[in-house]
Amino acid sequence: MASTPADDGQGSPPVAIVCVGMAGSGKTTFMQRVNAHLHSQQKPPYVLNLDPAVLSTPFESNIDIRDSVNYEEVMKQYNLGPNGGILTSLNLFATKVDQIVNLLEKRAKPDAEKPERKPIDTILVDTPGQIEVFVWSASGTILLESLASSFPTVIAYIIDTPRTASTSTFMSNMLYACSILYKTKLPMILVFNKTDVKDAAFAREWMTDFEAFQAALQRDENADALGGVEGGGHGGSGYMGSLLNSMSLMLEEFYSHLSMVGVSSRLGTGVDDFFAAVEDKRQEFMRDYYPELQRRREQREEDRKKARDKELNKMMQGMSMGQEGAEGAGAAEDSDEVDVASDDDDEDSDDDKAKEGLQARYQAALGDGDDSIMGDASFAKYLYKQR
């Protein structure tokens, strides 16, 4: 039976909540509210800040990218702009992902030396406001897959509700959420933030009732027509209206795989609903997503092992050919000796033993049995140990 992430026999593993959202969606304020809510329940989370450009955060981070990467110095050293600096900082930080996951796994278990310290129940991850820098980068993929390989991981997509009131901006947000879902392949919760300014009931209705969205789209088209400007930022008419209509049909199946909650980070309303959705997604992760992640991980390990074996065989064949050439040269120099079958057998046996011994040492050096996240670095670790 396959083991579950961070399964230590002490109960369910902590859930990792990765907060993503466009700049200005209230993501940091949402993180603060969720952090305060968990502290009020005597269940303090383990907080990771992955935004290297933020000047200050309204919550305390257990692991902060700014402690190990200087964003401004990265921009100067590599002659980069703001987004390039954030991307490069994440790439540098991703090299420490094995240390981070090992630390999280340790904190998820009871500490015999500090029995008063409770194992963590929740991991909160704050990401940069530039979604594409995190979601579509190699470093973001490494960080997310490393988390998901050890803990149930849920994506919380924060949406600015007042800015999503028109059908066109709503559909744009849904398409962005769709791309994130299929890129990360992790359970997702749509968090409609700032419900104290604009109630999110309209969004729930549009996601569950196709005809309601069609009626709203028609209203926006009529409003644009009365305004005298085609496509005046609401629904548009002509091609835009037809496009929105087609996309709403296409996304109907997509909505069925999402949880949607309305939250006010300022007032704290809806936080309980959010954690109820997190629990549902945690169970969905363990039921549907984790077996697939395990299969993909095992497939990668198998492909990596085959590639190593292939390279090792090439190397051994090259060494064998070199050795045969040296033996042939020695035989040509001493042609007076008589070949004896028993001598050949002994030499072949010795060669096979030497080859097997050499192959065993190279297999150990290449780290075939290493199951750690940074297994690819095992050969470097082997060389270091030989010093």
Per-residue pLDDT of the chain (387 residues; tens, 9 = 90+): 444 565 544 567 899 999 999 988 999 999 999 999 999 999 999 999 999 999 889 999 999 999 999 999 999 999 999 999 999 999 999 999 999 999 999 999 887 787 788 899 999 999 998 888 889 889 999 999 899 988 999 999 999 999 998 888 898 899 899 899 989 989 999 999 999 999 999 999 998 888 888 888 888 877 766 664 444 445 555 667 777 877 777 787 788 778 899 999 999 999 999 999 999 999 999 888 878 777 877 887 888 888 888 888 888 887 776 666 666 655 555 555 444 444 445 555 555 655 566 555 545 544 444 444 444 444 334 333 444
Rounded to whole angstroms, the Cα distance separating 223 from 231 reads 10
pLDDT of residue 226: 64
Is 0.75 surpassed by the pTM of this model? no
Pairing of strands 63-64, 46-49: parallel
Continuous H helices in 151-235: 167-184, 201-208, 210-227
pLDDT of residue 380: 39
pLDDT of residue 386: 44
Strands (E), the chain: 15-21, 46-49, 63-64, 122-126, 153-160, 188-193, 259-262
CATH for 15-223+258-285 (3.40.50.300, 3.30.565.10, 3.50.50.60, 3.30.390.50):
3.40.50.300
What are the C-alpha distances in Å from 23 to residues 20, 165, 172, 205, 278?
Answer: 9, 17, 15, 25, 23
Q: Which two tokens mark 290?
A: 């984790």
Q: Which two tokens mark 181?
A: 């879902």
pLDDT of residue 31: 95
Is the torsion defined by CA of 96, 13, 128, 185 positive or negative?
positive
Q: Which of 191, 142, 201 is nearest to 20 (CA)?
A: 191
What are the C-alpha distances in Å from 321 to residues 22, 307, 335, 348, 357?
Answer: 60, 21, 21, 14, 17
Q: Report residue 201 CA to chain centroid gap.
A: 31
- Indicate the burial class of 200 (C-beta count within 10 angstroms; 0-12, 13-18, 19 or more): buried
What are the C-alpha distances in Å from 214 to residues 44, 164, 205, 253, 288?
Answer: 44, 16, 11, 16, 33
Collect all residues with Cβ–Cβ distance below 8 Å to 82 and sequence separation of at least 6: 53, 75
Collect all residues with Cβ–Cβ distance below 8 Å to 60 and sequence separation of at least 6: 47
